[in-house]
Amino acid sequence: MYQSNSYEYLETLTEEKLLICKDDKEAVQIRDVAVLLGFDTFVLPDLRVSVGEDLRAYDEDVQALMITLAKYDASVEKKVLISPLRTLLIPFPKAAYFAQKTIEFGDTLNLAELKDTLYHWGYHFTDIAAQRGEVSFRGDIIDIFPIDAKKPYRISMFDEEVETIQHYDENTQKRAADELESLTFTPAFLALDKSQHEALKNRAERSTYDTFVKDIDSLGLWHLDDLGQSALETFDGIWVSKLDEELKEIYELTEPLVPRKAFLLPSIPEGNKYRDLEAVNPNKLLESHKDKKITILAKNESIVRGSELDSFENIEFVYQEGIVNIMGADRLILSLNKPIKRKRVKKASIILDELKPGDYVVHENYGVGIFKGIEKRDILGSMSEFVVMHYQNEDALLIPVSNLEVIDRYVAEGGTLPILDRMGKASFKKLKAKVKEKIFAKASQIINLSAQRH
C-alpha cells in the first residue's frame, strides 16, 4: 500500500467511503493522510476472530468498535471510515441502536427507569464501578463508567434529585474536587429496549456455538439478527490494498457470515501525481525542492524547535500526529514525527473448551501446573470466571479467563509426564533463562553459517 495513492484518491473525494486495508498498520497510514486532508477520520480496530468465538477476550476491541461506529454515525463533517479486512467479517450493529443519554445537575431521576436503561444498554451492575461498562448504585450514590469515558462519573442524589456530578478515580474511588454540570453516557453494548434485550439474550443463551459461557458479552454480536447487518451493506466500500490472497485464505480456512461475493468491490486507482519517499535527509530534500509548496508535519512546536532544519522559510507547518512523506510535481510533504512503537499484545493460544481437568498446562511465570477447571468468584460484587491451576503442595493459582494468553498446553516429547513446579521458587525462571540463552546461541550459529555461505 502506498500513501501517495491514498493521498491522490482522498484529495478529490467528496462522498463517504469505507476504506478497506490489510491491518491496523495500514489503517494508521491511511488515517494520517486523511487527517492531513481535513477528513473527520475514524479507524476501526483490527478484530481477528472466528465465527462463534467467545468475544469476552476481545472486550476492549469490541468496545472500540462500538465507540468508533457511533462517533462516525454522529459526525456531520466530511468523514471517512477505515477498516482492516478481518473486522468486516463481524456483524455490525445498525445505526439505530447507537444512542446517548445526558444527566444534568438538578435533574429529577426515576431510578428504576435508569436502572432498566443501563441494564438493557449492556452495563454490568457491581458494588464498585472500576471498569468501563460498569455501574454501581449505593444508597444515594450512583457510579457510572461509560465505555467512551476517560474517567468514571459519580452522581450524588438528594432523594430523586441530582445534587452533584463529579469524576472519581477508579482505583482509589476518591472523587475529584471539581463539580460538573452534566454527564453523557452511551450504551456499553447497544441501545436496546426490554424486548430487544430479552430476545438477544435468549438467542445467545440458546446458541449452537461451542463456548463455555453463552451470554450477550460472549456471543451477542454473532446473534444480532435484525439488530445488525454486514458492514458492506451499510457502507460504500473500496479497496485501498490488494488483498486477494488474504481473502482466498480466509474463505478456504473458515466460513465467514459475510458471503465472498460481497467483497467484489472497486479499488482506488493507481496514482500518478505523487510518490512515496524516504525522508532520510530532510534538509537535502528541502533544498532540492524549495520551489514547491512544502508542508511539514510535527506533533507539536517543540519537535519543530528540536529539529535540525536549516531553514523555516516558505514552509507550512501542520501540527498533527502521524507520518506522511510524499512528493509530487509541485508539492512536498514531510514528517518530523517518529514512528510510535506499538506494544505487542499477546493473544491466547489455548482454547478453553478443549481443556479437561487433569491436563497439564504451563504458566509463563510459574511453570507447569494441573488444570483443575473453571470457578466463578465474587470480586467486589461482580461475578468473574477464573481458570484454576494447582502446583506442588496443592498450591492454587486463579487466572481470569480474559488473561488466557499467559498459559499454554504442556507438550512433552514421547508423552512423558512432567514434574509440577512449585510456586514461589525461582527454578522455572532459571529454566526459561537457560532455554533463551540456548536459543540465542543457536540463532547466532545459523546467522554465522548463512553469512559464510554468502
Which amino acid is located at 1 in the chain?
M
Say what angle helices 194-205 and 111-120 make with each other, to 10 degrees.
40
Distance in angstroms (rounded) separating the CA atoms of residues 305 and 265? 45
Domain ranges of the chain: 3-94+216-263, 99-185, 277-335, 352-423
Closest CA to 78 of 27, 29, 41, 43: 41
Cβ contact 256:222 at 8 Å: no
| 48 Cβ contact list (under 8 Å, min separation 6) | 86
Strand partners, 385: 376
3-state secondary structure at position 122: coil
pTM as predicted: 0.74
What is the reported pLDDT for 413? 64
Topology match between the domains 99-185 and 352-423: no
Instruction: Tell me how long the chain is.
Output: 454
Picking from 11, 13, 3, 4, the residue whose alpha carbon sits closest to that of residue 266 is 13
The pLDDT value given to residue 212: 85
Q: Which residues contact 199 (CB under 8 A, 6 or more apart)?
A: none
- Residue that the C-alpha cell 445488525 belongs to: 228
**Rounded Cα–Cα distance for residues 316 and 307 (Å):** 15
**What's residue 189's pLDDT?**
95
Q: Quick one: pLDDT at residue 423? A: 74
* Listed residue (91, 113, 395) closest to 232, CA to CA: 91
Question: Residue 306 class from Cβ within 10 Å (0-12 exposed, 13-18 middle, 19+ buried)?
Answer: exposed
Q: 475514524: which residue's cell? A: 42
pLDDT given for residue 7 in this prediction: 93
Q: Which CATH number, 1.10.287.40, 3.40.50.720, 2.40.10.170, 2.130.10.10, labels domain 352-423?
A: 2.40.10.170
Q: At what angle do helices 24-36 and 3-11 cross, to 10 degrees?
A: 40
**Secondary-structure percent of the chain, ordered helix, strand, coil, rounded to 5:** 35, 25, 40
What's the one-letter identity of residue 163?
Answer: E
| Backbone angles phi and psi of 432, in degrees to 5 | -60, -40
Q: Which residues of 177-209 are buried (b: 16+ CB within 10 A; e: fewer)?
A: eeebeebebbbbbbbbeeeebeebbebbeebee
Closest to 234 in 3D by CA, of 266, 262, 256: 262
- Cβ atoms of 382 and 134 closer than 8 Å: yes
Cell numbers for 11, please give them: 484529495
Architecture of domain 99-185: 2-Layer Sandwich (3.30)
Average pLDDT per consecutive 10 residues, the chain (454 residues; last block may be shorter): 91 93 94 94 94 90 95 94 95 94 94 95 91 92 94 93 93 87 95 96 94 91 94 94 90 89 92 86 85 90 85 87 91 87 59 77 86 80 80 86 80 73 68 68 70 58
